[in-house]
């Protein structure tokens, strides 16, 4: 699986080389290239933004560097999916991460300032599948942190990246419920003990307890995830 990211802050993506994702890249399961948008400017100041037509606060990213950067990635590419992180996009979820983990080539375009000139989206959508995606209802300074979060959620679902695929099955959001609480050694810690059922060796009882704990937690913290009763 291949990823391309266009950004004016390539350093944001240095962290991807740490831990699991770095191991997946070194093992050849996934590959990514980070492109500096400013390499596609042709003025002394490497300008990527300008004032908005129609007035208003903030700056808008000019279309020309974007056009050149995306040409270099999309020309000749085999059915890529282009994602622009944006608070105005559809909301990212575990279901979307799973869907995207089945793609072969994802391209992320990170906007900054007040956004990217609309013609970049329109031109891109005319030549490739294009989606605007938000990681939640809050505003970041740019798309970089959103893309790091999405990449981590997507790459860990690529077959072969997480050593034990069973660990992906029971986690939060996979079954429509939040994950149950986990415990490890010691049995007693600062006066707090591990629930007896987890020490019982009774696998049926343990599964029932975990399911009930998941439901209770979901009802308390995220009732919106439960089907209407």
Residues contributing to the site for ligand ADE (CB under 6 A) = 85-87, 134-136, 138-140, 142-143, 146
Is 140 annotated as ligand-binding?
yes
Query: Smallest gap, in angstroms, from Cβ of residue 84 to ligand ADE?
Result: 8
| Long-range contacts (CB closer than 8 Å, 24 or more residues apart) made by 45-53 | 48/8, 48/112, 49/112, 49/113, 52/114
222 vs 204: CA distance, rounded Å: 26
User: Shortest gap between Cβ of 102 and ligand ADE (angstroms)?
Assistant: 21
Phi, psi of 141, deg, nearest 5: -75, -15
In whole angstroms, how close is the CB of 117 to ligand ADE at the nearest point? Answer: 16
Contact 124, 82 (CB under 8 A): yes
Is 137 labelled a binding residue?
Answer: yes
Q: With respect to ligand ADE, which residue has the nearer C-beta, 77 or 132?
A: 132
Residue 197 labeled ligand binder? no
> Is 111 a known ligand-binding residue?
yes
Whether 136 has a binding-site annotation, put simply, is yes
Contact 61, 112 (CB under 8 A): yes
Residue 158: cis peptide before it, omega within 30 degrees of 0 = no
Nearest CB to ligand ADE, comparing residues 75 and 137? 137
Kindly list the distances between the CA atom of residue 12 and the CA atoms of 26, 90, 144, 161, 185, in Å, as whole numbers in the listed order.
Answer: 19, 23, 7, 22, 36
User: Least distance in Å: CB of 14 to ligand ADE?
Assistant: 19
Q: What are the binding residues for S-adenosyl-L-methionine? A: 111, 135-140
Q: What are the binding residues? A: 111, 135-140
């Amino acid at each position: 699986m291949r990823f391309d990211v266009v950004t004016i802050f390539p350093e944001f993506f240095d962290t991807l080389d740490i831990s699991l994702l770095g191991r997946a890249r070194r093992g050849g399961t996934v590959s990514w290239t980070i492109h500096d948008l400013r390499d596609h400017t042709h003025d002394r100041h490497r300008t990527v933004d300008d004032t908005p037509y129609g007035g208003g606060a903030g700056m808008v990213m000019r279309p020309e560097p974007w056009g050149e950067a995306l040409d270099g990635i999309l020309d000749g590419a085999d059915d890529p999916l282009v994602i622009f992180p944006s608070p105005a996009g559809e909301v990212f979820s575990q279901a979307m991460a799973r869907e995207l983990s089945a793609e072969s080539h994802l391209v992320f375009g990170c906007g900054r300032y007040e956004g990217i000139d609309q013609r970049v989206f329109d031109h891109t959508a005319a030549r490739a599948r294009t989606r605007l995606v938000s990681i939640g209802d809050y505003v970041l300074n740019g798309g970089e942190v959103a893309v790091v979060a999405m990449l981590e959620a997507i790459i860990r679902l690529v077959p072969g990246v997480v050593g034990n695929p069973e660990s992906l099955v029971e986690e939060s959001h996979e079954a429509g419920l939040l994950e149950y609480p986990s415990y490890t050694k010691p049995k007693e810690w600062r006066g707090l003990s591990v629930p007896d059922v987890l020490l019982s060796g009774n696998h049926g009882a343990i599964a029932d307890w975990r399911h009930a704990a998941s439901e209770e937690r979901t009802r308390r913290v995220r009732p919106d995830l439960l089907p209407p009763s």
